[in-house]
Amino acid sequence: MSLPTRPSLPTTLVLALLTLALAGCSGISNPFSSSEGPPPAPAMMETLPPSFPPQDLVGRWGLAAYHKEEDRARTEAAAANQCRQPYIITLGPTGGVMMHLADQSTPTELRLKGAPGGKNFIGPAEDPPGGQQDREVVAFDGRVMALRWIDTEVQGRYGTMVYVRCGPEGEKRPKPKAAAVKRAKTAPKAAPKPKPVQPPIQQQ
């Protein structure tokens, strides 16, 4: 007994069906893979000339720090009183300034780096402006300078550092007038003010 023969599909039709099947498979996305790739790295700031030369930072400074903005004026006064033990900034061998990085006991040559928007940073020369080891110059008028750490953990420990320029070496403070001295003796003593936080890198 002979079996009935099955009708065979034309070769052209088979190839067309295979092509459609393959095209459908290629259009299925893998939920475990991402075609977007890794997230882009944060854009680096362009390095520009600073608003003032490093020579303007050279000198003897009283140093103190604050964590709350309302303590800034009081901290400036406390920093001025630290000129008995000044923080000294000198020029480095390659044109930078010798200052301390966070948690370092010896000074390192750092660069003054400008950035868009009139910003200025102090930090390692190899890092772009605003690097994690940098400090942003939030205020500088030649006499008072305030620096904020970019690293939030370091900023939380040290606070915003205030530098007040000390007078020339050996300069004597003017003597108070006799009337002022008399008033000071008769005036009631004020309660002692809390001392500002002194960053450990002040000690050399």
- Per-residue pLDDT tens for 19-35? 555 555 444 444 444 45
For residue 101, being part of any structural domain is answered with yes
State the Cα–Cα distance between residues 5 and 157, nearest whole angstrom. Answer: 89
pTM score, whole prediction: 0.64
For residue 61, being part of any structural domain is answered with yes
What integer pLDDT is reported at residue 110 of this predicted model? 98
State the Cα–Cα distance between residues 108 and 99, nearest whole angstrom. Answer: 6
Q: How much is the average pLDDT of 99-122?
A: 96
For residue 7, being part of any structural domain is answered with no
119: confidence class by pLDDT, cuts 50, 70, 90: very high
- For residues 77 and 174, the model is more confident at 77
For residue 22, being part of any structural domain is answered with no
Contact 75, 138 (CB under 8 A): no
Please count the structural domains in the chain: 1
State the chain's mean pLDDT as an integer: 79
pLDDT exceeds 90 at position 144: yes
For residue 146, being part of any structural domain is answered with yes
For residue 34, being part of any structural domain is answered with no
Percent of the chain whose predicted confidence (pLDDT) is above 70: 61
Which residue do the tokens 């550092």 mark? 161
Q: How much is the average pLDDT of 52-75?
A: 97
For residue 145, being part of any structural domain is answered with yes
Q: How wide is the angle at C-alpha 173 spanned by C-alphas 81 and 182, nearest 5°? A: 95
Q: Domain range spanning residue 84?
A: 54-168+192-202
